[in-house]
Structure 1
């Protein structure tokens, strides 16, 4: 049998499929707004004179509804049309961001109102993510899954390079409301594009509760899946608490505020783009091991910020983190799609998503409290240490090295 390493894949083959092109365009349009949204949200809170506590509350309330509704989204993604779920999820996100932009722009926004809009956005994510995970397998042949996953991320990551810089300039010049309004508009445009995507509903067997129980049994039976999820519980919480919560606060104090933080985010996005280009050419056999190891790169920017290194060093560390993270995402998504049956992907994705998000609200709140007791940079270094430990422990799991690329798959 020939090794896949010696074969030259048709890297652009998924683009020949009209439905895939529509799906990719919807992702690209949405990404142009999402690239500005985190910075705009952070400075909506900071602009009120609030600190780590208020921002931590807002980010936590954005994560909680996703955790609560994600299992429902996973069951529905294995029973209903995934394209319809994607349409409704994007429409709900557009409404939430539109209301948020209006309240921030009118000067009526409070921490509570910002958090409430974030809560609605979190519900939207709970229905978008499981449907999106299973939709790709319905759009392209199995042999082209990695190419499809990389191509979907390529334009979005390209937008994210300029998006944070543009967002920083917009926020600095006109305020965060304009960036949030653009995010709402792009969600609405993506919803309209997805409305024309017709994906058949997976065959449903039994009731919803029965499907949930079967999904849990399938999740527990895959050691590689639940151990990756358990490591992700720590890694994702530590990364988001460090980068999204403390990052803007450190930038506001030491790196020039919104403009400086926009450069950091743009550098991170540039790394994501570079990682996607790597994934279009590199086809590692040990997909899951590569996915786990790539997460270690997230330690770099947190360490650079935590040790007070100069901005150019912080930017370089953000680039390297982006490269590692994108390789992780593409390798993980491809391994998941190749080793989980299509009819179970919504539920398995939901259990994985719940596990990875479970500690996020607590992580935000604990980090915000810790930042009141210890120096912010010390807390950033603690987040970096947690990520390093999670990656090291996950690499000790033997099943990580058994979930490899299927023969003949690109």
Structure 2
């Protein structure tokens, strides 16, 4: 019953989150902002998530995770609701949109560390892979349909209505999550003591910090190559927005395919599979960098999406099974800080490389970084002892 409630909350929230990025972009455009204004808005959404993640991790190990998820989703609902009002009434400015984004990013910092711990509290250890897969299945399906539906809503009714739905979806999810009534995981000491002990626990698990370090490089290379340079190369080498839309669709379909694979396949060496499954992310970068025809790019992107979802499911399962309940929040926070820092790192590296090489060469270099990160991570001996828990 508790897991069904959690899945329902995730699905409802995902329907709003799938439409929100498009609505946010057009909110900035409608009030006269350009790329610079949109960059400011996106930065104010990302920065507080990184800044407050560690505090969110500490709280996730100190208080009821269902209450923390309730408060985080409620705060996000308030932020998106306020944004919908200012956009709908024509009072939106870059500053007001950025302030709402700051609040929304802060809310995410407190919900992300609590989520994995909540799932591990609800579901027995031997059923965690199936649970993580079932959580991702509807969310990935929404990722396929959500942007298209959001585009129609924004085109017909304006961005305010899409933002209002996002706010409502967060509010409904908050109420569902409050009903879980999960107990606080452990008795706690002071905040600073919790942080010090959390860092010691993170550093003592070689498999955890090496996976985080490799993941930071891999995510930075992927974002720089696919998200930033991909549309540029699509405009130069392929048919621009139309073909890039097909590539994005192939990636979403790959995510869904990876989820289906995880429903049937339950590997024993969870962490090894998680690392290896990240390698296909290099494929579309190489395909675009080499100027291969569009069908090959689509196939490579499909494989990348499938690999990424397998990696996410197996990594999450390994993490939940091999980190004690009382440390899940802090360990998740340290891991997520690395991945969040990959966003500005990837864009900075691309900006520096763009002055030295052409875009297609940078794409190949990003693919190389992905492969190197995977190979080096596979050299960590501690990786091979993190296996699936069976009955």
> Structure 2 residue aligned with 1:50, among 14, 34, 40?
34
Residue 63 (structure 1) shift: 2.2
Q: Secondary structure at the match of 2:278?
A: helix
Q: Partners of 2:81 and 2:293 in 1: how far apart?
A: 37
Whole-Å separation in 2 of the counterparts to 1:245 and 1:26? 31
How much has 1:31 moved relative to structure 2? 1.1
- Structure 2: runs of 5 or more not aligned: none
Deviates more, 1:138-147 or 1:369-378: 369-378
Matched, 1:73 2:56: yes
- Shift in CA distance, 90/206, structure 1 to aligned 2, threshold 3 Å: same
Secondary structure in structure 2 of the residue aligned to 1:36: helix
> Once the 2 structures are TM-superposed, how far is the Cα of residue 288 of structure 1 from its aligned partner?
0.4
* Cα offsets for 1:352-373 (capped at 9, x unmatched): 1112222323433554576688
Q: Is the 8 A contact 1:60 1:364 kept in 2?
A: no
Q: In the alignment, is the contact (CA less than 8 A) between 2:33 and 2:94 conserved in 1?
A: no
Residue number in structure 1 paired with 2:172: 189
Distance between the aligned counterparts of 1:371 and 1:165, measured in 2?
Answer: 32
User: If the length of structure 2 is used for normalisation, what is the TM-score?
Assistant: 0.88
SS at match of 2:133: helix
Alignment CA distance shift 1:352-1:188 (3 Å): same
Alignment gaps of 5+ in structure 1: 1-17
Q: Cα offset for 1:228?
A: 0.3
The answer to whether residue 123 in structure 2 is matched with residue 140 in structure 1 is: yes
Indicate the SS of the match to 2:387.
coil
CA distances 1:383-404 after superposition (whole Å, capped 9, x unpaired): 3332222222212212122211
Deviations 1:237-258 (A, max 9, x none): 232344444445666775553x
Q: Residues 9 and 177 of structure 2 are in contact (CA less than 8 Å); yes or no, is this contact kept in structure 1?
A: yes
- Counterparts of 1:255 and 1:172, CA distance in 2: 23
Q: CA deviation at 1:23?
A: 0.6
Deviation digits for residues 295-322 of structure 1 (CA, Å, limit 9, x no counterpart) = 1122233344445555544433332221
Between the aligned partners of 2:283 and 2:23, the Cα distance in structure 1 is 24
SS at match of 1:387: helix
Which of 202, 206, 211 aligns to 1:223? It is: 206
Residue among 366, 372, 375 paired with 1:389? 372
Contact 1:89 1:125 in 2 (8 A): yes
Using the alignment, how far apart are the partners of 1:380 and 1:107 within structure 2? 41
**2:62 aligned counterpart, secondary structure:** coil
TM-score w.r.t. length of structure 1:
0.84
Distance in 2, matches of 1:364 and 1:106, equals 34
Q: 1:87 & 1:164 partners in 2: Cα distance? A: 26
Q: Structure 1: which 4+ aligned runs deviate by more than 6 Å?
A: none
- What does 1:350-389 correspond to in 2, within 5 Å? 350-367=333-350, 376-389=359-372
Distance 1:184 1:275 in 2: 29
Is this contact kept in 2: 1:39–1:262, CA < 8 A? no
1:368 and 1:275 map into 2 onto residues whose CA distance is: 32
Q: Secondary structure at the match of 1:35?
A: helix
2:68 to 85, 88, 102: 85
Once the 2 structures are TM-superposed, how far is the Cα of residue 333 of structure 1 from its aligned partner?
A: 0.8
